[in-house]
Structure 1
Amino acid sequence: MKKFFTHAALGLALACSALVSTQAMAKSALEQIQDSGKLRVCFDAGYMPFEMKTKDGRFIGFDIDMGKQMARAMGVTFVPVNTAWDGIIPALQTGKCDIIMGGMTITPKRNMKVNFAHPYIVIGQTILIKPSLKGKIKSYKDLNNAKYTIASKLGTTGAQAAKRYIPKAKLQLFDTEADGVLQVANGKADAFVYDMPFNAIYASQHKKQVAFIEKPFTYEPLAWAVRQGDPDFLNFLNNFLRQTRGDGTYKRLYDHWFKSNRWLSQVQ
């Protein structure tokens, strides 16, 4: 009988431990953020105008400002977590940050690993080409030839789009947007496939080095990503987005980062 009670007590203890562990895991990120007093935001600095690093080491951009607004609304401190793009989802999953606010496109593959809030902006893939190809290349279809070399950034929807829509061309992938687009600017690649905002800004700055085919050839909604199984955080994010759009905050930030170039001198 004593042995039976010992086993029963052990089983009960294990069950209680599992319950406590499950409850801890089920704790919403909102509660964890409130407890820590910090909103840790993952992004990959270098994606104009969403997140960039200034000459003096500060992080600026549309996503950065939206993250600061969010932290202010929560009553906590904004903590930037600059993360390499190929490791940004694992960083979120392992708790190194609370949210990804880094210009991430919603894709089915990513959605299997994270949950997305409602899109906060919709963009698409565009093309920068060598000036010598201006007039010859009018769309992505014209690049679908083995004689052309295309550059893009590793692990992005730009790389996916190039593989899917321009499969005959040679594809070179780089760790950063800057490295990829320089291949075209230096004449080492014929085209650079990447997100519309980045390409538009780069083209306006380097008119002699690249030509811009500005019509997007993909549809890409960008959204904030959080860990799976947290409906409370998603509800907060969707309502926060609705509120900022309604009170003018979103438009004010959008106009500053997308319709003005006053900030460019800080990152050049």
Structure 2
Amino acid sequence: MTTRRAFASVLALSGVAAATSLSGIGLARAQEAGGTIERIKAAGRLRTAAIPGSEPFFHKDILGGGWSGACVDMVKDMAAALGVTPEIIEAEWGTSVMDLQTGKIDIMFALSPTPARALQIQFSDLAINNAFTVIAKKGLSVATWDDLDKPEIRVAFDTGSSHDIFVRRRLPHCTPVAVQSPTDAIMALQAGRADCVVQVVVIAAVMHARNPAVGDLVLPQPVVHQPTCIGVPVSPDPRFLTFVNNWLLYNRSEGIVQEWMFKALRASNVDPASLPPGLEF
């Protein structure tokens, strides 16, 4: 037989359990409501990835181990706006989306917003309106993209990048030569393992400036523009992406993004005036 006192005890215990459960739910919701910006500020750091051999976006000092480049200037400026310290993690283009998904990094600069990627992460507004170009071996005539879409033409590109996606979509009949980095693609051309390299123009211009004898820098027709954006993890809190877009709008309208890009290009011995028209920073 249940006594009134026992029944009261059961009610009391149930109340404690319910309160504990509700407090746990409330804490989880509070943490979620805090969002990405609060998490970054609490950690005191804004983490991004950098890819070796991807000038002018990223440049690694082999001797000192430090990083420079347009995207490094960007993350430093954004971290300062958030009141935190920038943290740069070495990675590859092919793993950058996964790094965002798994929480290894908070943000990734210089990413192309492909539909497949957009199903996995979120993208900012346009940061750079790039264009695809070719570094072709001496003697190889390239006027249009169709000139490269042949089985006998070996096209080098770095795996997992926008170059990779573009070559497989636009040049389905070529012989693909997939390598790890943009620098490796140039090495494949130098070694005779490839007939040409496909890269966006700002990277190709740097690679060509290092060794003009490697081949001819060509802008095949029709010009294929490549939008470059900033990637962030998917989140129910829209404020971080809103912040990124506002930061981008301000720095583009003030010409600061262009300053960062021109500075990085000049550091790689590329005259910005030599770039083809139509690029937007």
- Shorter-chain TM band: 0.7 to 0.9
Distance, in Å, in 2 between the alignment partners of 1:106 and 1:238 is 14
Q: Structure 1 residues 63, 142: closer, same or farther in 2, change over 3 A?
A: same
Which residue of the partner structure matches residue 38 of structure 1? 45
Displacement of 1:226 after TM fit?
1.1
Q: Does 1:255 align with 2:262?
A: yes
Q: CA RMSD in A?
A: 2.4
Q: Does 1:68 align with 2:68?
A: no
Displacement of 1:60 after TM fit?
0.6
Q: Does 1:233 align with 2:237?
A: no
Distance, in Å, in 2 between the alignment partners of 1:70 and 1:182 is 34
Which residue of the partner structure matches residue 100 of structure 1? 108
Instruction: Specify the SS of the correspondent of 1:28.
Output: helix
Displacement of 1:11 after TM fit?
5.3
Which residue of the partner structure matches residue 85 of structure 2? 77
Which residue of the partner structure matches residue 208 of structure 1? 213
Aligned to 1:149, which of 147, 154, 157? 154
Instruction: Specify the SS of the correspondent of 1:42.
Output: strand
Asked if 2 retains the 8 angstrom alpha-carbon contact of 1:106 and 1:220, the reply is no
Displacement of 1:167 after TM fit?
1.0
TM-score under structure 2 length normalisation: 0.83
Distance, in Å, in 2 between the alignment partners of 1:166 and 1:76 is 44
Matching of residues 169-180 of structure 1 within 5 Å: 169-180=174-185
Deviations 1:207-253 (A, max 9, x none): 21111112474322111111112311111111112222344433322
Instruction: Specify the SS of the correspondent of 2:139.
Output: helix
Aligned to 1:57, which of 55, 65, 86? 65
Displacement of 1:68 after TM fit?
0.8
From the CA coordinates, give the structure whose radius of gyration is larger: 2
Asked if 1 retains the 8 angstrom alpha-carbon contact of 2:145 and 2:220, the reply is no
Q: What letter matches 1:209 in structure 2?
A: V
Displacement of 1:104 after TM fit?
0.6
Displacement of 1:5 after TM fit?
6.6
Deviations 1:11-70 (A, max 9, x none): 554454244224323432211122222111223232110011013211010000011111
Asked if 2 retains the 8 angstrom alpha-carbon contact of 1:200 and 1:214, the reply is no
Matched pairs, number: 261
Q: Structure 1 residues 213, 93: closer, same or farther in 2, change over 3 A?
A: same
Identical aligned pairs, as a percentage?
Answer: 23
Which residue of the partner structure matches residue 28 of structure 1? 35
Asked if 1 retains the 8 angstrom alpha-carbon contact of 2:151 and 2:175, the reply is yes
Q: What letter matches 2:244 in structure 1?
A: L
Asked if 2 retains the 8 angstrom alpha-carbon contact of 1:86 and 1:155, the reply is yes
